[in-house]
Amino acid sequence: MTSEPQPGDQPGDELPISFAIVGVQKAATSTLHSMLVRHRHIARGDAKELHFFDDERLDWSAPDYGHYSVPRTDLGQLMAGDATPSYIWWPHALERMHRYNPDMRLIATFRDPIERAFSQWSMERKRQPSYPSFSRSIELFGDLSLIRGLPPGKTSREMRRAAMVVRGLYGEQLRRGLSVYGRSQWHLVPFRRFVAEPHAVLDDLAAFLGIGEWHQYPNQRENPTPRDQVGPPPTADDMLRLTEVYADDLAEFARLSGFDVTDWPTARIADGTLDAADLAADLARKVGLVPED
């Protein structure tokens, strides 16, 4: 819950971080953060992703939390947050966070894991046209052991890129997360619900964070999908390969989260109600790798 301003509080004071959007990447975390920080009681810092608990350069035996805060620009601002979507999968990040504040409130959005992986690939490809094809990226960035430990000698950016496939193991991530923070400290949001009902999700989050009702809802940020990608499209084999990786874990995620994932493409390929080739073609059309029908 938030605390009322105390005598001596002033704009310019630093507010410690008391909630975090911890994942998952490419599931509207940027849009959610941009809307949430427009609440009158939440301080808005200069950066969305603070990348504190996934910073392997820090001495985690005695970390300095002095700069893990956001300046208060208005006396009505009562709390501040971080929105770093790698925290949910990054080895030891949530444990480090718990040592910082065992009362943190955690928010996580989730979308179909194959769609999520393809969206990350599309983002990387847009940034770097020489980025490998989706099929090749599955091979290069499919090391599932990353969820349990990071190999030495790699930069944090290299690790975030290398985790394209492992980021979709939501069941394992949530199981670990619930072993660190109790269920009441988590607020889980289906990506599709946020897209369809953003104001309802914001109301739920206001109640979860204890920040009072919204006086005015912020506009929803638009993040259009790039539609000018070039190169070989994803294949049915790619979809089947990822379904094999994700199917059992997705069932575990559904059990832990309470989400109905039966209409998610990964689950539908697994149960035979969606053809892998159809999903591959649909993803390819969305980013311009094949022409629209």
Inter-residue contact 227 to 287 (CB < 8 Å): yes
Please state whether the peptide bond connecting residue 24 to the residue before it is cis, i.e. omega within 30 degrees of 0: yes
What is the reported pLDDT for 1? 47
Q: Would you place residue 43 in the very low, low, confident or very high pLDDT band (cuts 50, 70, 90)? A: very high
Its pTM stands at 0.94
CB 249 within 8 A of CB 74: no
Given a cut of 70, whether residue 209 has pLDDT beyond it is: yes
Q: Which residue has the higher pLDDT, 161 or 92?
A: 92
Rounded CA-CA distance 188/135 in Å is: 30
- Per-residue pLDDT band for 7 (boundaries 50, 70, 90) equals very low
**pLDDT tens track for 257-293:** 999 999 999 999 999 999 999 999 999 999 999 887 6
What is residue 247's three-state secondary structure? helix
Q: Give pLDDT tens digits for 112-146.
A: 999 999 999 999 999 999 999 999 999 999 999 99
At residue 6, does pLDDT exceed 80?
no
Is it the case that residue 10 has pLDDT exceeding 60? no
Q: 14-217+228-286: what fold?
A: Rossmann fold (3.40.50)
Residue 21's nearest CA partner among 72, 79, 83 is 83
* Cα 282–Cα 115–Cα 95 angle in degrees, nearest 5: 180
Mean pLDDT of the chain, nearest integer:
93
Q: Which long-range contacts (CB under 8 A, 24 or more apart) does 262-271 make?
A: 264/112, 265/112, 265/114, 265/115, 266/112, 266/113, 266/114, 266/242, 269/114, 269/239, 269/240, 269/243, 270/243
Residue closest to 5 by CA, chosen among 95, 102, 74, 93: 74
pLDDT the model gives residue 8: 43
Kindly write down the DSSP assignment for every residue of 22-80, as one continuous string.
Answer: EE-TTSSHHHHHHHHTTSTTEE--S-S----TT-TTS-TTS---TT-EEE-SSTT--EE
Q: Shortest CA distance to 192 belongs to which of 112, 281, 280? A: 112
Percent of the chain at pLDDT exceeding 90: 84
pLDDT band at 220 (very low <50, low <70, confident <90, very high): confident
Segment 165-169 shows an average pLDDT of 98
Q: Which residue has the tokens 């091979």?
A: 139
Percentage of the chain modeled with pLDDT above 70: 95
- Decide: residue 262, CB within 10 A, 0-12 exposed, 13-18 middle, 19+ buried: exposed
Indicate whether 157 pLDDT > 90.
no
